[in-house]
Structures are given as C-alpha cells and as structure tokens.
Amino acid sequence: MAHGAAPAGTPAGAAPSARDAEAGATTVETLTMASALNLALADALASDDRVVVFGEDVGALGGVFRITDGLTARFGEDRCFDTPLAESGIVGTAVGMAMNGLAPVVEMQFDAFALPAFEQVVSHVAKLGNRTRGDLRMPMVIRIPYGGGIGGVEHHCDSSEAYYAHTPGLTVVSPSTPQDAYSLLRAAIASPDPVVFMEPKKLYWSTGPVDTSIAADLRRARVVRPGSDVTLISYGPSVPIALEAAEVAEAGGRSVEVVDVRTLTPFDDRTVMESVRRTGRAVVIAEAPGFASVASEIQARVFEQCFEYLEAPVRRVTGFDTPFASPKFEHWYLPDAERVLDAIETLHWEDQ
C-alpha cells in the first residue's frame, strides 16, 4: 500500500455504457457505490481509447478501496497502471497526457495525500485552458476519496473540497448515491475540461440501483426529497444525514425538502434558490470545518439571493474548526441527524 481560467466543462452528461451499446439494452443493477465507480471506469475505458487510469496501487491490487479492481486484467497495463508514490508526479504526468490528446483519470488514494500535487492542480490543471485561450484543454479527472466515517486517522479523512472549489477553472463534483457515482463519473470523464471528483469514502459500501443509460448533467443539483417547510442543502457524504433528519422531522410535523448539490462548482444557484424561495428556511450540511467552507459559500449565496423570502437565518451544520478527530471520537465530530434537527428547530417556527 502507498504512503500514507478556462470555464470548467459542462457536458450534458455521460454516454450510455459500452456494454449497453453492445447489448442494445439498458443495464439496471443494484450496486455499491464502489462497484458503480468501477463500472463507470470500465465503461469509459471500453468506449474511449483515449482514457487511461493510473495512480498508487490501482493496478493489480485494484486500489485501496478496490475501485479499479479488475481493470488492469481486462484492459492491460497500458490503460490501467501503478505509479510511484509521488502525487505531484502523477498529476504532472496527467497534464502532459491531456495536452497530447489522452483523457487521464488519476486516483489520489486518500484526500490529504493529494496535497503534494496541489500546486500542479492550481497552477496548471486549472489554468492551462485560460492561459492558451482554449487552444489547450485539460480533459482529465482527479479522483479523490474524501471525508470521514471509516475510522481513519488524519491525512485519511480530510474534507478538502473547499480548496478545489475556490480555484477557477475546475469543476468539483461529489456524488451521494451509486447512480450519481456512475453517471457523474461518466460525465466527468467525457468533459473536455478538468474535473476534481470527490468520492465519499463512507458511502463506498452503500447500495442502490444503477441505470447505465441515465446521463448526469455536471451543471445541475437535484431535489432528492420534496418538502414545503425547510430546505436541507447538502452534498456527498452528508446527503444521507439530511435524508435521515428529514424523515424524523416529518414525524414531528415538519415538511423537509432535501437538495443534493452534487456539483460544488459551477454551483447550481437555480435549483437551490428555487427550493429555498418555496420553503423560506434553509440549513446547509457538510462534514468539512465550517470556516471559509463550501457550506459558508452556500449560506452566503442563499442570503444574497433569497433574503426577502427567508423566515429565519440560514443555519449551518458542519464539522468543527479543528483537525479531524481520532477514530474513537469521529462520531462527535461528524454532523449527524440530531444536530440537523436541532438546527431546524431554531428557524423561527410559529408554533414555538
């Protein structure tokens, strides 16, 4: 195991899988998120000879979380291969490949392991399109497993999405379901511009139906649960927490809408603001520390665009402004349904 701006592309979505095209039919299966990501990579490799997959231990081992399991055996070492333990070198190599007509998909293994490559990402990956007035595009995907909930230690459970979302020229995506994991990754690989694909580690073993014919739009959030009293806005690992809180709140008489942001940047203001204008109340939920975060950006946007519709201040439920907790204490650090319900109850209800 290893050691511990041009506008971002916004294609309409991924093409149906190569397996579907060969069979002439839609494939619908119940898969884990890990299996859905593996299938998306396999279908992308099969349908586009430009796609290459590489990173630390992604070859014979199939990756720490087995996301690339079987890809080297099926497609060969030229298409899916291991690299030295050098994240900056991995991303730098991908930049050269993208400049010369390939579509690399690289894995950073764990969230904080990507930080040695951060200079490559912000100085070159995000800026080459703008620097060359669009003559050079960066059709590459940087896969980053992130977030807590697996009993890992520091450098293995960070939520670093704000660093990438703050960088113009990058599309930043985080799925919350196996279906979105498949469809959003296919769309990301098809994009002509760079995508940072944040994969919630604690959801790798969650299951759900995956229809390989469903295309995802990298520009759009999604209402995953309708409601009329309050909007819960979340993404990636915190969406199941929002849905759990919504179920409990409904039993107490609150009608709760849940919006899955899916793409952090470019941000889908339309879907989010339409929801908040309907409900008049909002809570933003994310695992990352709250200060200068994606959650604080969403909160600010809601205040700016929905102020006259709001019945109460927009609340945030986030991780704490501390380094990530040790495995024994991470359950105190991570947002849970109880904290979300407490935030909902502060939203100036008439029955209080």
| Packing angle, helices 337-344 and 239-251, rounded to 10 | 60
Sheet harboring 103-107: ordered strands across?
80-82, 51-55, 103-107, 141-146, 195-200, 171-173, 263-265
Is the alpha carbon torsion for 37, 191, 109, 56 positive or negative? positive
Q: CA-CA distance, 59 to 37, in Å (whole number)?
A: 15
CB 189 within 8 A of CB 241: no
| Packing angle, helices 178-190 and 33-47, rounded to 10 | 30
* Residues involved in catalysis: 156
Q: CA-CA distance, 347 to 151, in Å (whole number)?
A: 33
Q: CA-CA distance, 332 to 338, in Å (whole number)?
A: 11
248 contacts: CB under 8 Å, gap ≥ 6 = 337, 341
Question: Per the structure block, which two tokens stand in for 261?
Answer: 């942001």
Amino acid at 12: A
